[in-house]
Amino acid sequence: MKYIIAPSILSSDFGNLQRDIEMINQSEADWFHVDVMDGVFVPNISFGFPVMAAVKKHARKPLDVHLMIVEPDKFIPEFAKAGADRITVHYEACTHLHRTLQLIKASGCKAGVALNPHTPVTLLQDVIEDLDLVLIMSVNPGFGGQQFIHNTYKKIKDLKNLIQGKNEDLIIEVDGGVGLQNAATLAAAGANAFVAGNAIFATENPTETIAKMKQLTNSISI
């Protein structure tokens, strides 16, 4: 099993963005997690295309773009053009989710769906074979540095059951309140991609924290 560490640049120092991107390039991290917030779907605004283009210019690892926006179809081709490798939309923001997933793929990206803490994984059963990734939100989306919601473990297990015999290569990503204290338990429950913002950038040595997260998850054999 290959475990993926995806530092969230939402917690980076925007005044030193290039420095922090370089840190991720040189670390054992696998992806850049890019949180886009519109102030409508979530009560916060993060950044848009110009910042993403700046990240793309320096990043030497894939961009894992998490869209916390309403009407994502309007912008998916532009996010793909701006350098997204994976685009994840929220289940709660998509009236025609199947159509949105096809649009992501037609734009040349891998397709993911994010679930808010209150949204059960069973709602994905009719699109599960169309997905490359499911992002289980382990906090309510909108902000970094929040407290991990424990019910996430149950959701990971439910998702593991749902993909059985249907899409076992699906990536199960967890986002929110993830760090050294719970990465190994989450991996044991079945998660294989870990987003971490605060747990990486608020530490003295982010490169070392990434290496430790990688070590912890790799120590799990399932």
Residues 47-76 binding ligand DX5 (CB under 6 A) are 66
Contacting residue, 100, 198, 209, 217, with ligand DX5 by CB under 6 A: 198
Which of 107, 116, 119, 146 touches ligand DX5 (CB under 6 A)?
Answer: 146
175 is catalytic: yes
Q: How far apart are CA 48 and CA 10, in angstroms?
A: 12
CB-based contact 178:199 (threshold 8 Å): yes
Stretch that binds Zn ion, among 52-60, 97-105, 116-124, 172-180 (CB under 5 A): 172-180
Q: With binding defined as CB under 6 A, does residue 142 bind ligand DX5?
A: yes
Separation CA 88–CA 73 (nearest Å): 11
The distance of closest approach from Cβ of residue 141 to Zn ion in the complex, given in angstroms and rounded to an integer, is: 7
Work out the burial of residue 18: count CB atoms within 10 Å of its CB; fewer than 13 is exposed, 13-18 middle, 19 or more buried.
Answer: exposed
Tell whether residue 152 is a contact of ligand DX5 (CB under 6 A): no
User: Which of 103, 53, 60 minimizes the C-alpha distance to 82?
Assistant: 53
8 counts as binding ligand DX5 under rule CB under 6 A: yes
**Which active-site residues does the annotation give?**
35, 175
